[in-house]
Structure 1
Amino acid sequence: MGHTVKTRNVLNKPGHHHHIDPKAGNTRILWAVVINIMLTVVQIVGGILSGSLALIADAIHNLSDALSLGLAFFARKIAQRPADDAMTFGYGRAEIVAALINYTTLILLGLFLTYEAVLRLFAPTDVDGWSVVIIAAFALGVDTLTAFLTYALSKSSMNIRAAFLHNVADALGSVAVIVAGTVIILYDWRLIDPLITLLIAGYILWQSITEIGGSVRILMLGSPPDLDTQAVLTAMRSVSGVENVHHLHVWQMQEHQSALNAHIVIKEGRWNEADRVKEAVKIVLRARFGLSHITLELERHGFECEDVQVVGHTSATN
């Protein structure tokens, strides 16, 4: 009975519910991408004309919003493609590869903005404060509209939720640029522009470096970050009929799908129950750890692999 309750909890995670029509969701994302790209162009042109590096920095950050939303849109499309002979696990990792490229580019841009801002600290340039404030205020309005378009979707999709939070952070960046422009208008303190640029660049670097690790972990076949491998082993060994477990592999097939394969040694005298024991292990793994793809190789007592390691696989042919 306990297994049944836990299984329901696993299946009722937010990511498994889709209350919004997929086509309507795609349309919202497309509109969000379009207006963010248009805003990026306006901010870059405005930043060049006004001489504001902070405005250009905010434009680049806003472009990352458009890229993340675009990535979310294409991921929804690619995820619908079935597995085939070339991609037997499906195409879900296309999103992970794109995210890695996106974050790497953002890190490079963040470093470039930091370099440019430091140069301006030693050689401040003239900045048209009014242009900065007007364009940044327009950007804040667009950020608010984008948040409105994606808020409902963010409740049912982790991918969209990340883009939504990214957009909210960009709105805060627009507020910072407005503050910089206001200071320039009131006090003609031009150092505020590179200082705000450093603030925005620092946020881009912090966010990108924090997020890129997850992409690398998945591509490196790392175990899910919230999964305790030793707890998995303990749970498998506690199933009646299991003598031991080895050659355990746990990895993320995609962002929301985790897989496991392992060798299970059936206790002496229980080989006739091997199929039941295997199914009992799968029930525990699905209910307690939410694993979606489980492959178990059964070994009879006395015929198990030799010289094995518990986690991972040796170079032997076992």
Structure 2
Amino acid sequence: MAHNHSHHHTHHEHHDVKGRNLLISIFLNLLITVAQVIGGLISGSLALISDALHNFSDVLSLVISYIADRYSKKKASFNKTFGYKRAEIIAAFVNAATLMIVAVYLIFEAIQRFFNPQEIESGLVIWLAFLGIAVNGFSVLLLRKSSKENMNMRSAYLHLLTDMSASVAVLIGGLLMKYYGWYWVDSVLTVLIAIYLIVMGYDLLRNSFRVLMLFTPEDVDLEELRTAISAHPEIKNVHHMHLWQLNEKENHLEAHIDFHRDITLSEFDAILVDVEHILEEDFGINHVNIQPEYQKDDPKDIIVQD
């Protein structure tokens, strides 16, 4: 079999920035958690203590993201030939799942609070909400750029964005409780945030699940891919194809190619260069593993169950 690697590695410096930003976010979220627990105990606000637990779950998710980021940079070895390239996808899947669990829990809590509103010390709640917005807002800005190109960072970013939104809800609720006595507003805002969370979390959960299950990337049509390769005059048939994502940067293709004639190895190498170019330029596939064949008696279907 012939194969090709043409991976697009992110710069080492960018990795360091990601790790540093995650560490800053972890430290800031720990500060908020401690402040909210103390504030909740002083004001008698169950909402603040539950928000502190929510913040602490975000600290854990950020720690998972940080560990995954560190592991993803480890080199491949004899017993780990892909290294830990999937660590960040696993982290994204775990974080997306916890994001949705937290959202369901928030809805449950909000419904209970809606039917049983409690009077709380709104002044302290307002100041702690301001603190939450400031700290989480800063963390969101730190991770925003990385979240666009990496599932793991996107999962951490979503956790923080939720926290910031929750703090905004707590602030609005605190102000309305202080000046109007509308204690039900907090519950309504919490439910709206939780629904948004479920929508965002589901998308991330689904995408990370697809990668972990080795599903074909959604933006690649195998029939179209086969037609593009088969257009080469020397190629008779492309079959027994496997296409999957190792992570967000690497798409892998394995396939058998049937040739019209018994070509030489050097001819095959030249044709492979053409095939790799088509796959990279038109389909974004950067790791190709081709098995050449001539009049071999095997199934010629695109997909063959191994």
TM over 0.5: yes
Residue 35 of structure 2: which of 29, 34, 42 is its match?
A: 42
Q: In angstroms, what is the RMSD of aligned CA positions?
A: 2.9
Kindly indicate whether the alpha-carbon contact (under 8 Å) linking 2:19 and 2:70 is maintained by their aligned counterparts in 1.
no
Change (3 A) 1:245 1:52: farther
Q: State the number of aligned residues.
A: 300
Change (3 A) 1:134 1:123: same
Name the CA distance, whole Å, in 2 between partners of 1:99 and 1:155. 13
Cα deviation per residue 1:44-79 (whole Å; 9 max; x = unaligned)? 443465455554565455445544543443233212
> Structure 2: which 5+ runs fail to align?
1-5
Change (3 A) 1:52 1:207: farther
Q: CA deviation at 1:197?
A: 2.1
The equivalent residue for 2:302 is: 310
Change (3 A) 1:303 1:28: closer
Matched, 1:83 2:76: yes
Change (3 A) 1:95 1:154: closer
Matched, 1:237 2:230: yes
Name the CA distance, whole Å, in 2 between partners of 1:115 and 1:155. 31
The equivalent residue for 2:129 is: 136
Change (3 A) 1:149 1:98: closer
Change (3 A) 1:117 1:25: closer
Cα deviation per residue 1:66-108 (whole Å; 9 max; x = unaligned)? 4454344323321221222332222111222222222222222
Kindly indicate whether the alpha-carbon contact (under 8 Å) linking 2:241 and 2:302 is maintained by their aligned counterparts in 1.
yes
The more displaced of 123-132 and 159-168 is 159-168
The equivalent residue for 2:276 is: 282
The more displaced of 157-166 and 27-36 is 157-166
The equivalent residue for 1:7 is: none
Residue 21 of structure 2: which of 16, 25, 28 is its match?
A: 28
Residue 210 of structure 2: which of 213, 217, 223 is its match?
A: 217
> Structure 1: which 5+ runs fail to align?
1-9
The equivalent residue for 1:111 is: 104
> 1:1-318, aligned counterparts within 5 Å?
16=9, 18=11, 20=13, 22-23=15-16, 25-47=18-40, 49-50=42-43, 52=45, 54-55=47-48, 58-59=51-52, 62-63=55-56, 65-150=58-143, 159-160=152-153, 163-164=156-157, 167-268=160-261, 270=263, 273-300=267-294, 302-306=295-299, 308-311=300-303, 313-315=304-306
Name the CA distance, whole Å, in 2 between partners of 1:154 and 1:105. 18
The more displaced of 201-210 and 250-259 is 201-210
The SS at the match of 1:254 is: coil
Change (3 A) 1:45 1:196: farther
Name the CA distance, whole Å, in 1 between partners of 2:41 and 2:208. 34
Kindly indicate whether the alpha-carbon contact (under 8 Å) linking 1:240 and 1:277 is maintained by their aligned counterparts in 2.
no
Name the CA distance, whole Å, in 1 between partners of 2:203 and 2:15. 30
The equivalent residue for 1:5 is: none
The SS at the match of 1:268 is: coil
The more displaced of 243-252 and 43-52 is 43-52
Name the CA distance, whole Å, in 2 between partners of 1:158 and 1:97. 9
Change (3 A) 1:51 1:291: farther
The two structures have a TM-score, normalised by structure 2, of 0.84
Change (3 A) 1:97 1:233: same
Cα deviation per residue 1:133-174 (whole Å; 9 max; x = unaligned)? 111001111123324444565687665466446534532332
The SS at the match of 2:246 is: strand
